[in-house]
Amino acid sequence: MTMKTLTIMAASPPPDTRPEGIAARKHIITLLLDKGAAINAQDKHGNTALMQAAENGNADTLKILLDRGADLHIKNRAGLTAEAIATQSGRDEIAAILHQAENHSENAGKRLALVDAVEQGDVQKLRPLLDTGGDVNARDDAGETLLMKAAEQGRIPVMKRLLEHKADIDAKSLQFGRETALIRAAENGQTEAVNLLLAKHADMTPYDEYDFSAMTRAIVSGHLSIVRALIAHGANINATNKLKITPLMEAANYGKTAIVKLLLAHGAKINARDRYGMSALMMAQRNGFKETAKFLVDKGADTSGAK
């Protein structure tokens, strides 16, 4: 069963109408959306979760979907919108909620216009949208903020405009591993974007759901200039993730010798070990990175336990 199907099912009225039952259903649909379920996905009849909630009179779920940007204008295969379905089903209260939301749909249109302007890197289009009350922290349908999208593409003028309007610099994506704008920029080799975010005091410490930080994402991707920028801004050179893996271990594990050299030059602990007792040298040897392993040995890495 797909997340699309689950989301549409979750919009149906709960069999348990007690407050705790309704609260559980609200929690489920919120969790699905947070995990990246497409809010406007349609079933084989063209119905969306919003339509399902409208037909069944599920006001609580309807309000969640509207707050999260569900599209009021989608029509199913019968040519009906959610409001038309509610009216046809005799759900007058629901129809009224949807009609009121329709009157405020300019905000939804502005959100889409903001996303489009960022994707195009069009500052001239972006400026009036923000100046007239557009939400600088708006997200696209995948749960990414405008700043994340701009950062991963290295759109500096757009980033500056968003930051001038007080964009949440440390917001996390609702999909793709709970990454921040800094992690996205670091992973994609956008050095100028990283430097801009760091100059604006972006938090370097968060780890995404896959246990990578901005530093370790940059290391795995081989972006030496970004590792250097993070160090220059005070990144903890010996920070560890849940498995006690340090940046040096990541660099050795992926055979990034130049980054290994840089990290050691700035005080990385050469003999630190992860939760399973593996050192940077062991990781380099395990993966066949002879140059990296030799450099570590030459720099005094402990060879006990190494091959």
CA distances from residue 32 to 3, 51, 120, 185 in whole angstroms, order as listed:
7, 17, 29, 26
Please, what is the angle between helix 105-120 and helix 156-164, to 10°? 140
Total tally of structural domains belonging to the chain:
2
Q: Rounded to the nearest 5 degrees, what angle is found at the Cα of 168, between the Cα atoms of 123 and 111?
A: 50
pLDDT value, residue 33 = 80
Are 97 and 138 part of one and the same domain? no
Average pLDDT score over the chain? 88
Q: Give me the mean pLDDT over the 60-79 stretch.
A: 86
Q: Does some domain include residue 150?
A: yes
Q: Which residue has the higher pLDDT, 77 or 253?
A: 253
- Cβ neighbours of residue 22 under 8 Å, at least 6 residues apart? 14, 16, 60
Q: Does some domain include residue 67?
A: yes
pLDDT in tens, 190-244: 999 999 999 999 999 999 989 999 999 999 999 999 999 999 999 999 999 999 9
Whether the CB-CB separation of 155 and 126 falls below 8 Å is answered with no
Alpha helices in the chain (DSSP H): 3-10, 19-34, 49-56, 59-67, 82-88, 92-103, 105-120, 123-131, 146-153, 156-164, 181-187, 191-199, 214-220, 224-232, 247-253, 257-265, 280-286, 290-298
Are 31 and 92 part of one and the same domain? yes
CATH number at residue 170: 1.25.40.20
Chain centroid offset of residue 197 CA: 16
CA distances from residue 105 to 71, 98, 100 in whole angstroms, order as listed:
9, 10, 9
Distance from C-alpha of 213 to C-alpha of 223, rounded to nearest angstrom: 14
Q: Give me the mean pLDDT over the 248-259 stretch.
A: 98
pLDDT value, residue 3 = 46
pLDDT value, residue 199 = 97
Whether the CB-CB separation of 40 and 142 falls below 8 Å is answered with no
Q: Which of 14-18, 43-47, 236-240 has the lowest mean pLDDT?
A: 14-18
Are 141 and 115 part of one and the same domain? yes
pLDDT in tens, 82-99: 989 998 988 888 988 888
Q: Does some domain include residue 276?
A: no
